[in-house]
Amino acid sequence: MKKKFTRSVLALSLALAIALVLAPLTALASPGSSQESAVELKGGQSGTFDNEGGWWYKIQLAAPSKVVVTASLNAVPDNNSAAIIVFDYSNDVRNEMRSYVVPKGPLADTTYDQPFWIGVQEGGRPPSRTGTYYLDEGWYYIWINCSLDDGNFGTLKIDSIEPVNNSGGLTTDSAPTINPSKEVVKQTRYDGNRVSGAFYYWFALPRAAEVSITKSVNPAIRHDDGNPGSVLFLLADEGNEDYDGDILGEVDGEIEFWLQIRENDARLTNTITYSLPRGTYYAVLNNDKAYPGTEYTLTFTSSLSDATVGAMSNFVEAEAYTPGQFTDVNEDAWYGSSNQGVIASAFEYGLVLGTSDTTFNPTGDITVAQAVTMAARVRSIYTTGSGDFTQGTPWHQVYVDYAVANGIIDAADFSEYNRPATRAEMAYIFSRALPPSELEGHNTVNALPDVNSATPYREAILALYIAGIVGGSDDSGTFNPGANINRAEASAIISRLILPDTRFAGRVYG
């Protein structure tokens, strides 16, 4: 008897262990009874709830996202129901998030409400409903207020968490560059407040051109409640400090300042065309009162050919470099011809010259003026095939004027051009020398040892790492943003900028 009992206990223990291993983890997620005890759910995970009280889960969003939630009950009786309420507890203020609930069928049957309920019987089946939320980044709490019979339960599943695209800048300083001949940009309204405002984009025309912008609206839900959402498109030039749309365009043969579409309009796509002189322009997309999930698309076309807009093939060797021609260049050093050869490349393409016929001064500082000059030459060669400029007084003014006119720098960025440039400033200037389409992502940056949210020009630095134009001074990717940049380092950055085949690829930082 003793042996039989021992074998039974062992068998039972083994069965329980196997059951725990095989049981899906999502089914084991029990909710908290308060906000403080809320259990976190991630995309694809599920949790259960019963009738003992109100229950709490929570989710965290690293970026503005579309969140799809499905709630279901295991039983049909009429008195089984539950309300799913999503709260934003940022700044200790409780805001109820609205959701789209599609009980049966196409978008026309969609309801937009908060909370969403389950408990409606259809054909005797246990009820289930799905709600879709468009939410800003941050923490959210899901409260379940239920009324279930004893022994019954419900399931809450986070079907998916999908980041949504809001690609415009919230200010002109953060406006991303677009190519006026072939760019398509999209953004999705993701809550009741954040996108109710202007998003900025900018582009530079190397010469006079006709630019057409087609705006499309894809409503999350069509409605005519007397106060429909709308999107207003404006174009402004750099001379308009308020960027409130001071340029006339043509819409359907009529002269207009703007292009407006409302969500209940029969026509949800329209085009405005501008005849513009050479210069820098800001496209402004201003959204108002639209439902979350509404998607806006801007499609840019222009009379500029791709070759005129820019081509990497415009960069050709203009000088011959002979190893040893500069007596102060160690050809075995990291920058030398026997290693990375970046001084040779920068010299051959006419972007960094020697300090004399026989010296290069690889460890000498690069000034802000010299950095702007290099970037201006890169942009000019890219767009026209020529990097020639006629210098005036001071010598660098023509390059500064060109850089400002073409959006490489802003007029107020630098007050002193003859001082040494920092590595962060160089990253900022060089990252805008070419359009974003020429800075393809080849690497992943999760973190850098000395670059954080407080680092000046952080986004420009990250863009160069992702594109493989810089790689840091050690295996961890240390950048030294506040240090002065020297002529060898500048040669490395600019040669990788114009020669994509020499860029780093496949690296992961952090």
Matching fold, domains 23-163 and 184-309:
yes
Encode burial over 392-425: b for 16+ CB neighbours within 10 A, e otherwise.
Answer: eeeebebbbebbbbbbbbeeebbeebeebbbbbb
Predicted local distance difference test score (pLDDT) of residue 328: 95
Predicted local distance difference test score (pLDDT) of residue 214: 92
Amino acid at 499: L
Domain ranges of the chain: 23-163, 184-309, 312-509
Q: 351 or 96, which is more confident?
A: 351
- Residue 188 scores a pLDDT above 80: yes
User: Which of the listed ranges 1-5, 205-209, 388-392, 397-401 does the model predict with the highest average pLDDT?
Assistant: 397-401
Compute CA distances 404 → 280, 310, 366, 463, whole Å. 8, 18, 19, 20
Confidence label for 79 from pLDDT (cuts 50, 70 and 90): low
Predicted local distance difference test score (pLDDT) of residue 228: 66
What is the residue whose two structure tokens read 């049957």?
109
**Considering only CA atoms, which of 292, 422, 429 is closest in space to residue 367?**
422
Predicted local distance difference test score (pLDDT) of residue 437: 80
- Comparing 200-209, 311-320, 358-367, 477-486, which segment has the lowest mean pLDDT? 200-209
What is the residue whose two structure tokens read 């630019």?
211
- Residue 2 scores a pLDDT above 80: no
Confidence label for 81 from pLDDT (cuts 50, 70 and 90): confident
Confidence label for 25 from pLDDT (cuts 50, 70 and 90): very low
CA 393 and chain centroid, separation: 40
Strands in 209-218's sheet, in edge-to-edge order, are 184-188, 295-302, 209-218, 269-276, 249-251, 254-256
- Comparing 197-211, 245-259, 355-369, which segment has the lowest mean pLDDT? 197-211
How far is it, in rounded angstroms, from Cα 398 to Cα 400?
Answer: 6
Per-residue pLDDT tens digits for 331-370: 999 999 999 999 999 999 999 989 999 999 999 999 999 9
Confidence label for 310 from pLDDT (cuts 50, 70 and 90): low
How far is it, in rounded angstroms, from Cα 426 to Cα 457?
Answer: 9
How far is it, in rounded angstroms, from Cα 180 to Cα 304?
Answer: 8
**What does the block give as tokens for 23?**
């049981």
pTM value surpassing 0.75: no
Predicted local distance difference test score (pLDDT) of residue 125: 62
State which fold the 184-309 domain adopts: Jelly Rolls (2.60.120)
Per-residue pLDDT tens digits for 144-154: 888 887 888 88
User: Cα 157–161–165 angle (5° rounding)?
Assistant: 155
Predicted local distance difference test score (pLDDT) of residue 3: 32
- Residue 277 scores a pLDDT above 50: yes
> What average pLDDT does this structure show over 31-53?
87
- Residue 166 scores a pLDDT above 80: no
- Residue 296 scores a pLDDT above 70: yes
> Ramachandran region of residue 105, left (φ > 0), alpha (ψ -120 to 50) or beta?
left
What is the DSSP-derived secondary structure letter of residue 365? B
How far is it, in rounded angstroms, from Cα 436 to Cα 458?
Answer: 16
What is the residue whose two structure tokens read 């004027």?
401
User: Cα 351–444–300 angle (5° rounding)?
Assistant: 65
- Comparing 197-201, 204-208, 292-296, which segment has the lowest mean pLDDT? 204-208
Under CATH, which number does the domain 23-163 receive? 2.60.120.380
Q: Judge whether 467 and 439 are in contact, CB under 8 Å.
A: yes
Residue-wise DSSP of 412-449: TS-S-SSSBPBHHHHHHHHHTTS-GGGS---SEES-BT
How far is it, in rounded angstroms, from Cα 467 to Cα 461?
Answer: 10
Per-residue pLDDT tens digits for 113-130: 666 777 655 555 667 888
- Residue 500 scores a pLDDT above 60: yes
Average pLDDT along the chain: 81
Q: 16 or 368, which is more confident?
A: 368
- Signed CA dihedral, 300, 306, 309, 311: sign only: positive
Those residues with Cβ within 8 angstroms of residue 422's Cβ, 6 or more apart along the chain or in another chain? 456, 481, 482, 483, 484, 485
> What average pLDDT does this structure show over 388-412?
89
> Ramachandran region of residue 312, left (φ > 0), alpha (ψ -120 to 50) or beta?
alpha
Confidence label for 415 from pLDDT (cuts 50, 70 and 90): very high
- Residue 18 scores a pLDDT above 70: no
Whether the bond into 115 is cis, omega within 30 of 0: yes
- Residue 20 scores a pLDDT above 50: no
